[in-house]
Amino acid sequence: MISQQLLYALAGIGLFGIGLRATLLHQMLLERLLALNVCGAGVFLIFIAVAYGGIETAVDPVPHALVLTGIVVAVSATAMALALGRRLQELDDE
Amino acid sequence: MIELLWSIFDVSLVLLVLALAWASCSTQDMMRAVTLFIALGLILAIIWARLKAPDLALAEAVIGAGISGALLLSAIKDYPSTTTVLSRQSSLVEWVINGMTLGLVIIMTWAVWHGLNMSDGLRLSEQVMSQVPVSGVSNPVTAVLLNFRAYDTLLELAVVLTAVLTVLNLNHKRADVAAASPLLRGMTRWLVPLLVVTAGYLLWVGAHAPGGAFQAGAMLASAMILLQLSNPSSLQGFNLTVLRILLVIGIFIFVLVGIWMMSVNDDFLAFNPAWAGSLILIIEFAATLSIATALTLAYLGGRPTGWEFTNPVHSTKQHNGEPS
Amino acid sequence: MIEALAILIIFCGLFFFLSGSIGLLRLPDLFSRLHALAKADNVGLALVTLGIIMLEPDPFNDIKLVIIWLLVLAASAISSHLVARHALRENRNND
């Protein structure tokens, strides 16, 4: 059967594909932001799947640190995009 | 038998995650999409726990599902209703996008499969694990984050600060929500102190168990968000000078420690093994305060009342003001 | 012996979770769905926690698990109340 690592890496690639398609297709900022976050989650899943060695061997901590940084940066980028979107909405309403 | 059950568990988790992502990206109702996204974050946290990444499971549950979900939920009402705005591209463009994405997915699958099979590659894990005892902490992820790759964490704090500065510059704080249910207020009276204590615990325990500054900071931020939701007047009189100091204290202490190490050890952020544990704790404490303040301000959506710039932005005029 | 009993209790808890999910999908109204979710999921969590406590050797972890169960109980009660309150107000505004 397929190894656990490969299964989760494929899941990460699938998430990335779903998010990428939705980012390119949708027009509204909020939908694109959700899809970009899904893309990011897919990339993180690929990282951690590659770092996972198996149930016995120790895990590689460097990708974990990178993904932890990535999660925090993703949420701050989301906050910044939402602030920009809100300002654009206000300017459109004027 | 046990292996088969674990495989069934893995496959069902993967299918669940893909189904949630698809449903979240392709639904018309924004409220439903954001709720599904929060559920996606929680299932992702379970996957991190399954892949032996407990630090990430904590971080994903608090930051990815909690803070990100709260941010997106509070932003829904900024946008008009979806039924009038949503419009797809033309059918040809849709086909091209689908084809491109499929091609990229196939190439990535080949790349990952090839990369996983080249198992003779040097991994960093042996080097890292051999150096963890001298790093001052015993949790390898904290050692990597705050000792071996401390410069990356410093830049990450700078990225968070930049994002929050943008948020503060652009908008005023969102209007307070209507009076919350008294049950919510009663719950926050005991929940917020509990969250603060848990944040302190996560900060302390990050040295030898899953935890750390980011999870603790995000938990503090969620306590403040809870306060804002249930009792908005409690956050209103916050001293703005203290707020500004809290925003930058993470980076400030980090750089200060780095320069001190540069004067002692001839290298920016090169810790002595004897001092490393205490230095990491000091840096993490300052970083927790900074991250909590930054995420709370990001949720509030902009400048709190009373924080004005000398030349505020009006329509398309160029912004050239400094905070007073 | 203890393990077999613990696994049986965990399966009972899973049955409650399953019935709560079926209620979420099949019941007609928001309020009845909330009722099914809040009640069934909390009892299911209680049974699963009890089963894990029976399997767990360290007493400190048992106390932590009980605290987690109580917190989830409180959170689900409060959030069900808030959702129901909001839905009730919308119903009143629509009438």
| B314: three-class secondary structure by DSSP | coil
**Would you give the DSSP letter of residue B146?**
I
- The answer to whether B163 contacts chain A (CB < 8 Å) is yes
* Burial category of C30 from C-beta neighbours within 10 Å (exposed 0-12, middle 13-18, buried 19 and up): middle
Hey, where are the domains in chain A? Answer: 2-93
**In angstroms, what CA-CA distances link B35 with A7, B14, C55?**
26, 19, 34
Q: Look at B232-241, C28-37, C78-87 and tell me which has the smallest mean pLDDT.
A: B232-241
DSSP 8-class letter at B303: B
Residues B155 and B278 in one domain: yes
Q: Tell me, yes or no, whether B133 lies in a domain.
A: no
Q: Could you list the pLDDT tens digit for every one of the 324 residues in chain B? A: 888 999 999 999 999 999 999 999 988 888 999 999 999 999 999 999 999 999 999 999 999 999 999 999 999 887 766 544 445 567 888 889 999 999 999 999 999 988 888 766 667 788 888 888 888 898 999 999 999 999 999 999 999 999 999 999 888 888 877 777 888 889 999 999 999 999 999 999 999 999 999 999 999 999 999 998 888 887 777 888 899 999 999 999 999 999 999 998 888 888 888 888 899 999 999 999 999 999 999 999 888 877 776 665 654 444 444 443
**Do B108 and B156 fall within a single domain?**
no
B70 and B171 share a domain? Answer: no
How many Cα atoms occupy the beta-carbon half-sphere of B180 within 13 Å? 21
Question: Do residues B130 and B220 touch, judged by C-beta distance below 8 A?
Answer: no
Reading the block at residue B296, the tokens are 């709370």
Question: Which of the two residues, C47 and B272, has the higher pLDDT score?
Answer: C47
Kindly state the average pLDDT of the residues C30-53. 92
C touches A (3+ CB pairs < 8 Å)? no
Range of the domain at B245: 139-324
Whether C73 and C39 have beta carbons less than 8 Å apart is answered as no
User: Is residue B27 domain-shared with residue B110, that is, in the same domain?
Assistant: no
> Alpha helix (H) ranges present in B206-311?
213-230, 240-265, 276-300
Does residue B50 fall inside a structural domain?
yes
> What are B323's strand-pairing partners?
B309
Give the H or E element holding residue B48.
helix B30-50
**Domain membership flag for residue B128:** no
Question: How many domains, chain B?
Answer: 3
Q: How many helices (H) and strands (E) does chain A have?
A: 3, 0
Residue B291 lies in a domain: yes
Residue A42, H or E segment: helix A29-51
Query: DSSP 3-state assignment of B80?
Result: coil
Give the residue from chain A lying closest to B85, CA to CA: A28
Give the separation between CA A12 and CA A67, rounded to whole angstroms.
13
Looking at residue B286, its pLDDT comes to 96
Chain C residues within 8 angstroms (CB to CB) of chain B: 71, 74, 78, 81-82, 85
Q: Is A2-93 a CATH 1.10.3720.10 domain? A: no
Count of CB atoms within 10 A of residue A82's CB?
Answer: 23
* Record: contact B184-C82, CB cut-off 8 A: yes
Rounded CA-CA distance B294/B8 in Å is: 41
- Chain C's closest residue to B229, CA to CA, is C82
pLDDT higher than threshold 70 for residue C86: yes
Collect all residues of chain B within an 8 Å Cβ-Cβ radius of residue A58: 125, 129
Q: Tell which of B183, B185, B189, B230 to mutate to test the C interface (max C CBs under 10 Å).
A: B183
**Cα C1 to Cα B173: distance, rounded to the nearest angstrom:** 59
Residues B161 and B197 in one domain: yes
**Same-domain check for residues B115 and B215:** no
Q: Are B80 and B33 contained in the same domain?
A: yes
Judge whether B105 lies within some domain: yes
Q: Decide if B126 is inside a domain.
A: no
Predicted pLDDT at B221: 95
Q: Give the sign of the dihedral formed by CA B121, CA A4, CA B54, CA B21.
A: positive
Select from B88, B60, B72 the least CA-distant residue to B298. B72
> Are B186 and B271 in a shared domain?
yes
Are B102 and B184 within one domain? no
Q: What is the pLDDT of residue B324?
A: 36
Contact of A88 with chain B, judged by CB distance below 8 Å, is answered with no
Q: Are residues B70 and B34 in the same domain?
A: yes
pTM of the model: 0.91
B132 domain residue, yes or no: no
Q: Shortest Cα distance from B108 to chain A (angstroms)?
A: 7
DSSP secondary structure of B180-235: PPHHHHHHHHHHHHHHHHHHHHHHHHTTTSS--HHHHHHHHHHHHHHHHHH-GGGG
Chain A: partners with 3+ C-beta pairs within 8 Å: B
Same domain? B79 vs B109 = no
Q: Where are the domains of chain C?
A: 2-94
- CA–CA separation, B60 and B53 (whole Å): 11
**Residue B316 sits in the same domain as residue B226:** yes
Q: B79 vs A59: CB contact, 8 Å cut-off?
A: no
Hey, are the CB atoms on A34 and B112 less than 8 Å from each other?
no
Main-chain phi, psi angles of B172, to 5 degrees: -85, 165
